[in-house]
């Protein structure tokens, strides 16, 4: 299992005008699974369209920075989002990021 939260929730909400933090769990796959090998050297992830909808309702500030974590190992890293095109319930990230978080393909 892994999850991530918007990095903005670490700051006072009044300061950022954020109504609520964004916290979700997704099934994780490497970006190579969707033919985005060029993303392997970066630190961006791909999320589903419903994530963008939820973020927009939360009045999130741009650019978005997320804290990505594996709650079972307490490992964390930070990421931005390149696109909102993955299937609902899934996230794609560079393989090095999955290794950093001790995630295997298909972990939730």
Q: What is the pLDDT of residues 60-97, one digit of tens each?
A: 778 889 999 998 899 999 999 999 999 999 999 999 99
Tokens of 29: 């796959």
Q: Report yes or no on whether pTM surpasses 0.75.
A: yes
Whole-number CA gyration radius for the chain: 13
pLDDT above 70: percentage of residues in the chain: 81
Question: What local confidence, expressed as pLDDT, does residue 90 receive?
Answer: 97
The secondary element (H helix, E strand) that includes residue 16 is helix 13-16
The architecture that CATH gives domain 3-100 is Beta Barrel (2.40)
């Amino acid at each position: 299992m892994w999850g991530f939260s918007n990095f903005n929730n670490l700051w006072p909400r009044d300061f950022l005008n954020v109504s609520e933090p964004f916290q979700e769990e997704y099934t994780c796959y490497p970006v190579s699974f969707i033919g985005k090998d060029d993303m392997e050297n970066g630190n961006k992830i791909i999320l589903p369209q419903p994530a963008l909808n939820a973020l927009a309702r939360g009045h999130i500030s741009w650019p978005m920075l997320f804290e990505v974590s594996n709650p079972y190992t307490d490992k964390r890293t930070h990421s931005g989002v390149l696109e909102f095109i993955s299937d609902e319930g899934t996230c794609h990230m560079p393989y090095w990021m999955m290794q950093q978080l001790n995630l295997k393909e298909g972990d939730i």
